[in-house]
A and B are shown apart, each in its own frame.
Chain A
Amino acid sequence: MIAQNVAFWIVALSMAGAAVGVVRTRNVVHAALYLVVVLGGAAAQYILLAAEFVAWVQVLIYIGAVVIIFLFGIMLTRAPMQSETALDNDQRWPALVVAVFLLGVLIVLLVDAFGDQTIRLDDELLATGRTGNVGSSIFRQYVVPFEVVSMLLLAALVGAVAIARRD
């Protein structure tokens, strides 16, 4: 247990720092890289929670594809590489207030609701997170959402092409 906790804390802190970096850095590309850290950290957390399939999908999709798209987007929109202009707009401080406030509310709520609940890392958990289990769950119980999501992907693909096409 201690090992997991330590691992958790290291990963968590780096994720938090990277997240703050995403929203605070003046360099867009740096923000993308910080995002990579966050996404990787998330994958690490999944593994800690014995959700291995989700973790690898996370790495594959998010880090492997989404971030690439982001970088393409940054490139195509000629985002200023240098920090000539500030990347934050006028409502920074009110936004900070709202965010902190929301955080406070959530923490209070969570502490209040889930005070000392623990996650037991046992074989049952491992069994749950096995890929085979996840797969069978998808293709049995959640096959309809699965198909719908594939339609969604198709629509998104077509839509993205349609929107961004130069005509």
Chain B
Amino acid sequence: MRQIGLREIEDIALGAALLGAGGGGDPYVGKLVAIGAVRECGPVTLLDPEEVPDDALIVPIAMMGAPTVLSEKAIGGNEYKTLYNMVSQFYGRKIYAFMPIEAGGVNSMLPIAAAARMGLPLVDADGMGRAFPELQMVTFTIGGISATPMALTDEKGNCVIFQTITNKWTEELARAVTMSCGGSVSVCLYVIDGKTLKEYAVKNIITRSEMLGRAIRNLKNSTEGTPEDVFFKTTEGFKLFKGKIVDVLRETRGAFNFGKVVLEGIGEYKGHNAHVEFQNENLLARVDGEIVATVPDLICLVDTETFVPVTTDGLKYGKRVFVVGLKCFEMWRTPKGLELVGPRYFGCNTDYIPVEDRVKGGRL
């Protein structure tokens, strides 16, 4: 058990941008929502999952919809109270703690605001260990847990509780309501007990996010080697490529942005080329035509000077980036996990091979 204050929020936001693996939205607006709530209501207590009783009611909090809309409308501030009432009335019991469902991007921040505003603790865990685009892409789905009953509210006070037959249906129905409500809403989903949390959640991911953010922030003052060495050491990341963005191709299918960013090697990668395919998040990276990493491992682009993560929205010609591979949560590497979030689910015609094995191919 420890406290999350303003300093911690800054670091978690920066780490969450990395765990967003190119997507999840810029945590900036979420950070402001969290800072606003913590300033007003005080710091948040962070619980280790092991501190949570087995029968405790744990409620994940997230926003659903377009981060661009969130950057205009933000949140109203009463959504968390509304969600709290909906969920506790539905279950007829008190909520023990909130948690994030997604550690990457803007959704890493909003549960902090919710916990601060409701005076509840936050559990140091999530359901992805990164960011993913679709609602069923959580470790709880592997455990056969339904996303519903799911509570949804907008800033105007409209409320819906969904009860669906599959998580795919939840995705479809919730997204339709999100659009009608103006493109960005607050939700509770995958309400679980403490036992399930300990069994399926990605544990201590907030602490990892904070560590990553702090590491990036401190790189400039590092005395233990070049910022580059220290970055890859502390993040346990694999250096997949260093290059300059020479083209960004985009298209929209359904709710999602698809695209490809083309890189030309610089430094020790001069003369080589790479590209990264994305569907909001980065899906697959190739160097000289050969695959070096795929989902569910994290493929992140970071600025070569500042090591600040670059989201797919922020891709621009000429930007110099490292392509970094991070290992995903082990549960994603199981057959059930890969069925949900493996490369083939995203339309990439390749089997999943862990990033550490792909890079061992001895290239470059």
Instruction: Tell me if chain B binds chain A.
Output: no
A residues sitting closer than 8 Å to B (CB atoms) are none
B residues sitting closer than 8 Å to A (CB atoms) are none
